[in-house]
Amino acid sequence: GASRRWQLARELSTIKQVGVVGLGLMGHGVVQVTAMASSPEYTVVAVDGSKDSIDAGKKRIDQSLSKMLDRKVKKGVLTEGDAAAQKEGISSRISYASDVSALADCDLVVEAITENPEIKFSLFKDLARVTRPDCILASNTSSLSIKEMAVASGRPSHVVGLHFFNPVQLMKLVEVVRCDVTDPVVFEECKSWAQTVGKHPVSCVDTPGFIVNRLLVPGLAQGMLMYDRGDGSVEDIDKSMELGAGHPMGPLTLADYVGLDICLSILDGWVQKYPDEPSFVVPECLREKVAAGKLGRKSGEGFYLWDGDKRTTVA
């Protein structure tokens, strides 16, 4: 059963110290769920390039931790004292640094920086230089090739994809991605590790978008194409998929939530690289909104107007 699998996962793992590079939307969540693991406990080295981005990441982690622990206090699962002690314990397992040299003792490093292949290649080269040869290097990329990063690192057998979902704290899945040069032991170890941070790992091969985004992103694009053609209003398209297909968010809300710039960069990259794949298309409205700075929830406007998590219809 599940508990036996979990125990096995724990026994298999040799991972003790985990590095995370990039403390944005995804990276801060990876730091948090790793530091929250209790069996085994991990130490986390959280790296970002500037003092401002480190401060912003720290603040996000702090707020999200408080939110989760306050919720447990309200439900009566934790006393206020226990919640404060847990928060202190979790926070004390995280250290922050602005240089990758701080990752020298890590057993696993997860990269969650900007989705630009050249910048990722250069980071992977640096990571292979500063970490031990047996350290596993993972990318949280949603649409780029793991093999290309593996080759760029010069340590291809130890490079995998560990793809989390937004919000990392709540979404239960991690796609563990291997390519033809991945060491099978490394791959199994990553799946075990994902279980210890409370996630369900699925095995993926190195294809565009792996499993989730290969299905999800073309679906978001189809929702946008419907809007472009005037086949339905923003609200009706979303309500249809919420109430008719049981999705927690309709496609246009979800696109706003993910970030329209992210959606555009995924689709643009795929269209360029796989021009013959008919499900990879860039809707006009997506290009227009991004060009106008309407990036979805993070910029305050996309298909909807956003105030934090609150969404209202654009008049």
Q: How far is the CB of 258 from ligand 3HC (least distance, A)?
A: 5
The answer to whether the beta carbons of residues 48 and 22 sit under 8 Å apart is yes
DSSP assignment letter at 232: S
Tell me: is residue 302 an annotated ligand-binding position.
Answer: no
| Active-site annotation holder among 13, 192, 213, 265 | 213
Tell me: is residue 41 an annotated ligand-binding position.
Answer: no
| Active-site annotation holder among 158, 163, 192, 301 | 163
Unique residue bearing structure tokens 């298309």: 281
Q: 97, exposed or middle or buried, with CB in 10 Å at 0-12, 13-18, 19+? A: middle
Q: How far is the CB of 162 from ligand 3HC (least distance, A)?
A: 12
How far is Cα 93 from Cα 31, in angstroms, rounded to an integer? 10
Nearest to 194 by CA among 172, 214, 179: 172
- What does the block give as tokens for 248? 């927690």
Unique residue bearing structure tokens 């939307």: 25
213 is catalytic: yes
Tell me: is residue 143 an annotated ligand-binding position.
Answer: no
Tell me: is residue 64 an annotated ligand-binding position.
Answer: yes
Closer CB to ligand 3HC, 157 or 222, in the complex:
222
| Active-site annotation holder among 13, 139, 140, 142 | 142
Tell me: is residue 16 an annotated ligand-binding position.
Answer: no
Closer CB to ligand 3HC, 5 or 71, in the complex:
71
Helix (H) or strand (E) holding 177: strand 173-178
Q: How far is the CB of 218 from ligand 3HC (least distance, A)?
A: 12
Residues 6+ positions from 183 with CB-CB distance below 8 Å: 157, 158
| Active-site annotation holder among 175, 189, 192, 301 | 175
Chain center to CA of 9: 22
Rule CB under 6 A: which residues touch ligand 3HC?
64, 67-68, 71, 142, 165-167, 169-171, 213, 216, 248-249, 254, 258, 262
Side chain identity at 168, as an amino acid letter?
V
Q: How far is the CB of 76 from ligand 3HC (least distance, A)?
A: 13
Residues 6+ positions from 58 with CB-CB distance below 8 Å: 23, 96
Q: Where are the alpha helices (DSSP H) in 13-50?
A: 27-36
Q: How far is the CB of 250 from ligand 3HC (least distance, A)?
A: 10
Tell me: is residue 298 an annotated ligand-binding position.
Answer: yes
Tell me: is residue 22 an annotated ligand-binding position.
Answer: yes
**C-beta nearest to ligand 3HC: residue:** 142
Q: How far is the CB of 75 from ligand 3HC (least distance, A)?
A: 9
How far is Cα 291 from Cα 283, in angstroms, rounded to an integer? 13
200 is catalytic: no
- What does the block give as tokens for 24? 């944005």
Residue 228: count of CB within 10 angstroms of its CB:
13
Cα angle vertex 167, ends 42, 204, to 5°?
75
The answer to whether the beta carbons of residues 103 and 19 sit under 8 Å apart is yes
Closer CB to ligand 3HC, 1 or 248, in the complex:
248
Active-site residues, by number, are: 142, 163, 175, 213
Mark the binding-site residues for NAD(+), compressed into ranges: 22-27, 48, 115, 120, 142, 166, 298
Q: Which residues are annotated as a binding site?
A: 22-27, 48, 64, 75, 115, 120, 142, 166, 298
Q: Which residues are annotated as a binding site for CoA?
A: 64, 75, 142
